[in-house]
Amino acid sequence: MAYLIIFLPLIGFLISGIFGKKLGDFFSQIITSSLVLISTIISCLYLYLFINGSEVLNLVIFKWISIGNINLNWSIYIDSLTAVMLVVVNLISFLVHVYSIEYMRHDPNKPRFMSYLSLFTFAMLMLITSDNFLQLFFGWEGVGLASYLLIGFWFKKPSANTAAIKAFIVNRIGDFGLAIGIFLIYKYTGSLVFSDVFELIPSLVEKKINFLGTNGSVVTYICVFLFIGAMGKSAQLFLHTWLPDAMEGPTPVSALIHAATMVTAGVFLVARCSPIYEFSEFSQNIIIFIGASTAFFAATIALVQNDIKKIIAYSTCSQLGYMFFAAGVGAYHIAIFHLFTHAFFKALLFLCAGSVIHSLHGEQDIRKMGSIYKNIPFTYCFMFIGTLAITGFPFFSGFYSKDAILEAVYFSNNNMAGYATVLGVITAFLTSIYSWRLIYKTFHGQYRNQVHELNKVKESSKVILIPLFILTIGALFSGFLFKDIFIGIDHQEFWKSSIFFKEVFNLKHPPLWFLLLTPVSGILLIFGSYFLYVKNEKILEGLKQINKPFYDFLLNKWYFDELYNFLFTKPIKIIGNFLWFKGDIKIIDGYGPNGFAKIIKIISDRAVLFQSGYLYHYAFVILIGLTILLTYLIL
């Protein structure tokens, strides 16, 4: 059965990829979707088994690499952590498969699209079911490839191509860190298999090394470099620039890869490596710092963006920040819980945005929307629920997970926890503001589109609405239903060995004011935002005018792209050209072979002068030569 989960999507990819043209659009859509559906059902079954206390499952598929101490297999490893991820990945993937049938209706390359989706699912499954670091790396880069292919799916758009390459390369920079982490692990533990490595880590805590000119504990270096990998994949501050650009891809892709699953791989990695992270307080500080900063930073940008997908993309970035700082204070299970609920409501938001875009014939700018809630009531309703979930409205899924995160940092003894608590609460306010801004600008107020008439805006078909409906159910109930299992008092019963806690993790009850802080402000902001964004837009216009530089700073995303262009992209080309023309052509060739040839030519030109053909010249040379020779012999 476990084999089926992994290989059905692969089969779907191969069938649709190779025979797609012959099968036709309809069949490749049906085949890929139904194969992922079977995977989903089996995954749910596994989650059910693990909730009821199933044992860890470790299957070997076949030998991969075996040299010296490296003995690695292609493997399937399922424990509680993997089981949760399996459900998230397969379920969202299945819904997105179905959704795409309608969303991509007018695209000529449907089989190719479906096969890429299945390829992504396969790679993601390989990542989460790995029992060693190298297969994880395989899945890690595999999802990067699928993401690259899907962002660049509309290959005629130059911006899509650029975004695709950017995503791959920024991820590669993260992977560079991950690779260094893996090398460190191999050097100091002699193994790459999770169970062996985790066993040896406690004995390495005291070991200090000098690495890249700094001194520190081996475990800290391992953690930091693994985290750089996680930052790349999960679009954390400094390596986040690819995620907003990735919105160039079709919307179902954004929902699946850039919201619900792939970008959460970083959080998964940290949770999987909890037996390492628990032994390095320094790296936990870094994670909290980066996570909290990202949460805040991305939320500020989301406040002023006008592209409906980019707002949600920055929101994803921000929510991933939450997950990271939760993991940073050792609340891995809460991070995964938030990952779980977030997958539902964020995929829901994205797919709803897709539905809006679909209804508006491809319009993504929220300044050109408004007042359409009557035309697309179902989408409106679903998106409203999604927004309630993300803002942490009481008893919606986001409420349980986000509040648990804030409580966890509130009680943490970690010295960065205060920073995270403050930024986490502020970000929760910001989240409410930008989320409601999105809703109001999109669905309420004046209709501001000049191109398409309002009465031509039609609700999407059932094929789109049914996946939305299922996700809505998830956004409503996933928090309530699973909170006791995932983060309740008996959470150890469920997670068992898959997540390692150095000390028993118990959530205490925070003071009432802290408990009420975010939900109450969330509710208030629903009305506050309505007031600002629908009723009295002039106030905001005034604010914009007064704080123009600050507004531009946010609108231009803190100028990160410009900075990186200036620091890396441009210099690299200049250096490349410099090395080519000055290094290769001028110096090496100039003084090497060409110079050599020139010298020979000069010498031979001089030599030619001697061969004048006049006998007396030759006689003269012979005479001189003879004189020299004789002089030499005599002396």
Partner 1 sequence: MNEIPILTLTIFLPLIGVLFLTLIKGQPNFVYKTSGYVAMLTSGITFFASILILLNFNYSNPDFQFTEQHDWIFNFVNYKVGVDGISLTFVLLTTFIIPICILATINSIKNRLREFLIALLLMETMMIGVFCSLDLFIFYLFFEAGLIPMFLIIGIWGGKRRVYSAFKFFLYTLLGSVFMLISIICIYYDAGTLDVEKLLNIQINLDYQKYLWLGFFASFAVKTPMWPVHTWLPDAHVEAPTSGSVILAAILLKMAGYGFIRFSLGLFPDASVYFAPMIFILSIIAIIYTSLVALVQKDMKKLIAYSSVAHMGFVTIGIFVFNKEGIEGSIFQMVSHGIISSALFLCVGVIYDRMHTREISEYGGIVNIMPKYSIMFMIFILGSLGLPGTSGFIGEILILIGSFKFNYWIAFFAAIGVILSACYSLWLYRRVVFGVIKNTKINNLKDINKNEYLILIPLLVMTLVLGFYPSLVLDLISSSVDKLTNNMMDYTKTSDLFK
Place of tokens 């076949």: 62
Q: Between 254 and 283, how does the x/- string for binding to partner 1 read (CB under 8 A)?
A: ------------------------------
CB of 158 to partner 1, least distance (A): 6
- Indicate the residue among 473 and 599 with the shorter CB distance to partner 1: 599
* Residue 148 in contact with partner 1, rule: CB under 8 A: yes
* Residue 434 in contact with partner 1, rule: CB under 8 A: no
> How many angstroms separate the CA atoms of 443 and 446, rounded?
9
CB of 339 to partner 1, least distance (A): 24
By CB under 8 A, name the one of 9, 12, 142, 330 that touches partner 1.
Answer: 142
* Residue 424 in contact with partner 1, rule: CB under 8 A: no
* Residue 159 in contact with partner 1, rule: CB under 8 A: no
Q: Which two tokens stand for residue 565?
A: 């262009």
Question: Using CB under 8 A, which residues numbered 21 to 60 contact partner 1?
Answer: none
By CB under 8 A, name the one of 55, 365, 562, 584 that touches partner 1.
Answer: 584
Q: Are 348 and 471 in contact (CB under 8 A)?
A: yes
* Residue 79 in contact with partner 1, rule: CB under 8 A: no
* Residue 390 in contact with partner 1, rule: CB under 8 A: no
* Residue 577 in contact with partner 1, rule: CB under 8 A: yes
Q: State the Cα angle at 498 between 493 and 501, rounded to 5°.
A: 75
* Residue 516 in contact with partner 1, rule: CB under 8 A: no
H/E stretch holding 357: helix 332-359
CB of 357 to partner 1, least distance (A): 23
Q: Which two tokens stand for residue 275?
A: 């037996």
* Residue 393 in contact with partner 1, rule: CB under 8 A: no
H/E stretch holding 211: strand 208-211
Instruction: For residue 252, give the nearest of 354, 161, 156 by alpha carbon.
Output: 354
* Residue 567 in contact with partner 1, rule: CB under 8 A: no
**Angle at which helices 512-530 and 417-443 cross, to 10°:** 30
Written as one letter, the residue type at 166 is K
DSSP E strand stretches across 79-140:
none
- Indicate the residue among 169 and 517 with the shorter CB distance to partner 1: 169
SS3 415: coil
SS3 57: strand
* Residue 537 in contact with partner 1, rule: CB under 8 A: no
CB of 601 to partner 1, least distance (A): 13
* Residue 564 in contact with partner 1, rule: CB under 8 A: no
- Indicate the residue among 140 and 297 with the shorter CB distance to partner 1: 140
Judged by CB under 8 A, the stretch of 193-201, 452-460, 521-529, 579-587 that binds partner 1 is 579-587
Identify any residues that bridge with 208 across adjacent strands, giving them in sequence order.
Answer: 217
- Indicate the residue among 189 and 261 with the shorter CB distance to partner 1: 189
Judged by CB under 8 A, the stretch of 34-42, 144-152, 391-399, 615-623 that binds partner 1 is 144-152
The secondary structure of 30-43 as a DSSP string is HHHHHHHHHHHHHH
Place of tokens 């009821």: 52
* Residue 186 in contact with partner 1, rule: CB under 8 A: yes
Judged by CB under 8 A, the stretch of 24-32, 283-291, 428-436, 587-595 that binds partner 1 is 587-595
CB of 163 to partner 1, least distance (A): 11
* Residue 187 in contact with partner 1, rule: CB under 8 A: yes
CB of 372 to partner 1, least distance (A): 33
- Indicate the residue among 63 and 548 with the shorter CB distance to partner 1: 63
The three state secondary structure string of 291-335 is: HHHHHHHHHHHHCCCCEHHHHHHHHHHHHHHHHHHHHHCCCHHHH
Identify any residues that bridge with 339 across adjacent strands, giving them in sequence order.
Answer: none
Measured distance between the N- and C-terminal CA atoms of the chain, rounded to whole angstroms: 99
Q: Between 217 and 256, how does the x/- string for binding to partner 1 read (CB under 8 A)?
A: ----------------------------------------
Question: Using CB under 8 A, which residues numbered 474 to 513 contact partner 1?
Answer: none
- Indicate the residue among 556 and 569 with the shorter CB distance to partner 1: 569
* Residue 168 in contact with partner 1, rule: CB under 8 A: yes
User: How far is residue 130 from each of residues 40, 125, 333, 423, measured CA to CA in Å?
Assistant: 18, 8, 19, 34
DSSP code, position 580: I
CB of 191 to partner 1, least distance (A): 12
- Indicate the residue among 158 and 613 with the shorter CB distance to partner 1: 158
* Residue 169 in contact with partner 1, rule: CB under 8 A: yes
- Indicate the residue among 21 and 374 with the shorter CB distance to partner 1: 21
By CB under 8 A, name the one of 24, 377, 593, 595 that touches partner 1.
Answer: 593
> How many angstroms separate the CA atoms of 500 and 508, rounded?
20
Alpha helices by DSSP H, 391-461: 397-411, 417-443
Instruction: For residue 89, give the nearest of 39, 157, 153, 26 by alpha carbon.
Output: 39
- Indicate the residue among 142 and 370 with the shorter CB distance to partner 1: 142
Judged by CB under 8 A, the stretch of 3-11, 161-169, 522-530, 611-619 that binds partner 1 is 161-169
* Residue 573 in contact with partner 1, rule: CB under 8 A: yes
Q: Residue 376 CA to chain centroid, in angstroms?
A: 31
CB of 162 to partner 1, least distance (A): 8
- Indicate the residue among 148 and 340 with the shorter CB distance to partner 1: 148
The three state secondary structure string of 256-279 is: HHHHHCHHHHHHHHHHHCHHHHCC
* Residue 65 in contact with partner 1, rule: CB under 8 A: yes
* Residue 155 in contact with partner 1, rule: CB under 8 A: yes
> How many angstroms separate the CA atoms of 264 and 17, rounded?
26
* Spatial CB neighbours of 218, under 8 Å, sequence gap ≥ 6: 184, 188, 204, 207, 208, 209
* Residue 20 in contact with partner 1, rule: CB under 8 A: no
Q: How many CA atoms lie within 13 A of 284 on its CB side?
A: 24
Q: Residue 353 CA to chain centroid, in angstroms?
A: 20
> How many angstroms separate the CA atoms of 114 and 37, rounded?
14
Instruction: For residue 475, give the nearest of 400, 409, 583 by alpha carbon.
Output: 400
- Contact residues toward partner 1 (CB under 8 A) are 62-68, 70, 74, 134, 137-138, 140-142, 145, 148, 152, 155-156, 158, 161, 164-165, 168-169, 172-173, 176, 179-180, 183-184, 186-187, 211-212, 572-573, 575-577, 579-580, 583-584, 588-589, 592-593, 596
